Structure 1
Amino acid sequence: MSSTPTIDPNGPIRIIMNGVTGRMGYRQHLLRSILAIRDDGGLLRADGTRQQVEPVLVGRSAAKLADLARKHGISEYTTDLDAALADDTARIYFDAQVTSERTKAILKAIAAGKHVYTEKPIAESVADGLALVDAAENAGTIGGVVHDKLFLPGLLKLRRLIDSGFFGRILSVRGEFGYWVFEGDLQQAQRPSWNYRKEDGGGMVLDMFCHWNYVMENLFGRVRAVTAKAVTHIPERWDESGERYTATADDAAYGIFELDGDIIAQINSSWAVRVDRGELVEFQVDGTRGSAVAGLFGCRIQPRERTPKPSWNPDVPTAEDFRSQWEQIPDNQEFGNGFRAQWEEYLRDVLAGRPHRYDFAAGVRGLQLVDAGLRSSETGRRVELPRDGSGSANDE
């Protein structure tokens, strides 16, 4: 294993940012994270001083990169990834490209001695993900994978409830995620077309099961087995140019997950559902002493002492307003942007030369759940995940 590459504490933290012309890469990672840190005077270090950050933009469109650089006062951009990686003053590489391009770019970055922070999924397969783990370990570089959902205000409130023992013994988790993504004919789609082409790395399971894995394992327990069904509800869509194309990737997934502690989680994920809930994602957690419903921002609770006692009578209309029987947890602390919060944590870990808690191995566990979910959908069987954290899932 090579020694960990260091960053000059007296100079700026230069970050090669690849894929920031895309929606998520631009809004959350460049604009609301790195540029926000820059505009606040730099990263706040453990000793109370600040160290400035300096993005180097990389992408396929020189015109788009030039526009971003001009708009935000960024001095460096290039369409040549190899040239950017050859710059020894830029010690960190970030990847927000389409999934199909990610593995080879990260391997190049690691070979160039860069620390790597990346969007998920980290690769298209478990084997490719494990190759990234091995490469980073051999190079002595620090890998990090975006775990943004854990930094959402609603889930931070949920974390506090769990840590306080509010739930007693947690029994089950029910998650609902999604919204209607327009097909692109009558109204332009609000997600990029590659999301619906399997050959380009698209698909609900590949995208969202990586998220659900880290949410479940960090809040409730490791996933031990899954029974899932992935479907393509909308088989035909129209791309950014108005051209009709066949949707080859799944646009919805319905999963039952068995977790440590005999907790059962059910999560529905769909881009073909119309929203009838408070937020675009909500998790209901039921325990012996209380329940909670957490979304992106809010978190409502119902302790055992205030749980109503409804009775079933199909002959009489229900008079109770069940939603009014829950209490909203107040916003009694300030919650910043979750993407920025994790960026700051990752950068501090790199400066300190210590591993990031959400590392490439965590990204591989997400891919293992993807693999298990797709296999379950194809075979109609329950699939167990590997216990040792390596390799692929196994059919029961």
Structure 2
Amino acid sequence: MTRKTVRIAMNGVTGRMGYRQHLVRSILALREQGGLDLGDGTVLWPEPILVGRREHALKALAEQHGLEHVSTDLDAVLADETVDIYFDSQVTSAREEALKKAIAAGKHIYTEKPTATGLDGALELARLANEAGIKHGVVQDKLFLPGLLKLKRLIDGGFFGRILSVRGEFGYWVFEGDWQAAQRPSWNYRAEDGGGIVVDMFPHWEYVLHELFGRVKSVQAIATTHIPQRWDENGKPYDATADDAAYGIFELEGGAIAQINSSWAVRVNRDELVEFQVDGTEGSAVAGLRNCRVQHRSATPKPVWNPDIPATEVFRDQWQEIPDNAEFDNGFKAQWELFLKHVYADAPYHWDLLAGARGVQLAELGLRSSAEGRRLDVPEIAL
């Protein structure tokens, strides 16, 4: 075996997602397993360079995990010819400029979403990357969740017949910050800092719907701020200027209708933090982060509406659990592996900056739909 060291500039790993999912559970997990075997006698050894603004925080992470390289000078890191890949998990408002710098430096790009604060910026990034001849990818982690992988297995096997509708419920109660510390950074609730649940979650819903059920043709949404005041990391009150809940209806190519509620102001009364119910002519399924259960047409019971007597059936017991039938790795790690194989073994990969731009487009149109109070078409985009 030949070991090839891959130096990856990781910008934003002091944040929750950048640290836990991308650094610890992806890159460091690859190192713990001995690297990534390309299958041709080459093993990729990822060597992260932790980049950010707070040197003390970067050094603390490096010391904790036995890493050597940290920097607060992004320009210097990008000028280093030994750095192959630039990864970005910063706050959204800082991402676009940093990605442009990395593209200009000729680095391959892997980035969290949304890729930019608007569609024009997202499309420009995709054009610049293509013109530079670099490889680029956007995190679309929900596709690699065990529950959605099981759901895709059902779709590919024709279980549903003609798919009629998709109903999605996502969210949980994010503490306001006065009684208990909030589970999300305060910038998420300030529109001026790129916050808001629409710009955060609609890009996820775009690729989930697009990949599993069909391209989104139209959107009608209501975005609102249910909790108008929150308390920041220092215990100081601030006005929440960004939406914390969104209720969307999406018309899909092929005729199916999707309804997805997204909220940081909802208390969970479901099995998982996100669930999708898919109904088709031949059967239905409910998929979450890890689990998926089904009810086939042949096993559908006959409920009778009678509000005068207690329910005599436990409806959840009438569904069948889909077995794992496979070992599911962390979804972020799985996509990192695919991207690295794309860069170093030219393996196919289509979750690129153009795919990321579709997510930005849907978020932009969702906010506009809410502001204008009408349904909007979602045109196809291309470079």
Q: 1:371 offset after TM fit, Å? A: 1.2
Any conservation in 2 of the 1:279–1:296 contact (CA below 8 Å)? yes
Q: 1:386 offset after TM fit, Å? A: 1.0
Other-structure match for 1:60? 53
Q: 2: distance between equivalents of 1:270 and 1:383?
A: 22
2:360 equivalent to 1:364: no
Other-structure match for 1:394? none
2:311 equivalent to 1:302: no
Other-structure match for 2:246? 253
2:39 equivalent to 1:46: yes
Any conservation in 2 of the 1:223–1:259 contact (CA below 8 Å)? yes
After superposition, the C-alpha distances for 1:280-334 in whole angstroms (9 at most, x for unaligned) are 0000000000000000000000000110111111222211110110111122210
Other-structure match for 1:378? 371
Q: 1:372 offset after TM fit, Å? A: 1.1
- More deviation, 159-168/346-355: 346-355
Give the 3 Å change call, closer, same or farther, for CA 314–389 of structure 1 in structure 2. farther
Q: 1:352 offset after TM fit, Å? A: 2.5
Find the residue that maps to 1:242 and give its secondary structure.
coil
Find the residue that maps to 1:308 and give its secondary structure.
coil
Q: 2: distance between equivalents of 1:296 and 1:388?
A: 30
Q: 1:48 offset after TM fit, Å? A: 5.1
- More deviation, 165-174/329-338: 329-338
Find the residue that maps to 1:12 and give its secondary structure.
strand
Other-structure match for 1:393? none
Any conservation in 1 of the 2:3–2:45 contact (CA below 8 Å)? no
Q: 2: distance between equivalents of 1:49 and 1:76?
A: 24
Q: 2: distance between equivalents of 1:320 and 1:152?
A: 31
Counting only pairs closer than 5 Å after superposition, residues 194-343 of structure 1 correspond to structure 2 as 194-343=187-336
Q: 1: distance between equivalents of 2:380 and 2:137?
A: 22
Number of aligned residue pairs:
382
Find the residue that maps to 2:4 and give its secondary structure.
coil
* 1:128 pairs with one of 121, 145, 163: 121
Q: Which amino acid aligns with 1:175?
A: G
Any conservation in 1 of the 2:165–2:280 contact (CA below 8 Å)? yes
After superposition, the C-alpha distances for 1:134-167 in whole angstroms (9 at most, x for unaligned) are 1101100111000100000000000100000000
Other-structure match for 1:77? 70
Give the 3 Å change call, closer, same or farther, for CA 146–256 of structure 1 in structure 2. same
Q: Which amino acid aligns with 1:306?
A: A
Q: 2: distance between equivalents of 1:175 and 1:152?
A: 15
Other-structure match for 2:152? 159
Find the residue that maps to 1:94 and give its secondary structure.
strand
Q: 2: distance between equivalents of 1:352 and 1:133?
A: 22
Find the residue that maps to 1:199 and give its secondary structure.
helix
2:99 equivalent to 1:106: yes
Q: Which amino acid aligns with 1:113?
A: G
Normalising to structure 1: TM-score of the pair? 0.95
* 1:350 pairs with one of 334, 340, 343: 343
- More deviation, 379-388/54-63: 379-388
Give the 3 Å change call, closer, same or farther, for CA 88–235 of structure 1 in structure 2. same
* 1:115 pairs with one of 108, 111, 115: 108
Q: Indicate the percent of aligned positions where both proteins have the same amino acid.
A: 66
Other-structure match for 2:15? 22
Q: 2: distance between equivalents of 1:297 and 1:137?
A: 35
Q: Which amino acid aligns with 1:73?
A: G
After superposition, the C-alpha distances for 1:4-39 in whole angstroms (9 at most, x for unaligned) are xxxxx8630110000001000000000000011012
Any conservation in 2 of the 1:256–1:264 contact (CA below 8 Å)? yes
Normalising to structure 2: TM-score of the pair? 0.98
Any conservation in 2 of the 1:298–1:329 contact (CA below 8 Å)? yes
Q: 1:354 offset after TM fit, Å? A: 5.8
Extract structure 1 runs of 4+ deviating beyond 6 A.
Answer: none
2:151 equivalent to 1:143: no
Q: 2: distance between equivalents of 1:231 and 1:63?
A: 38
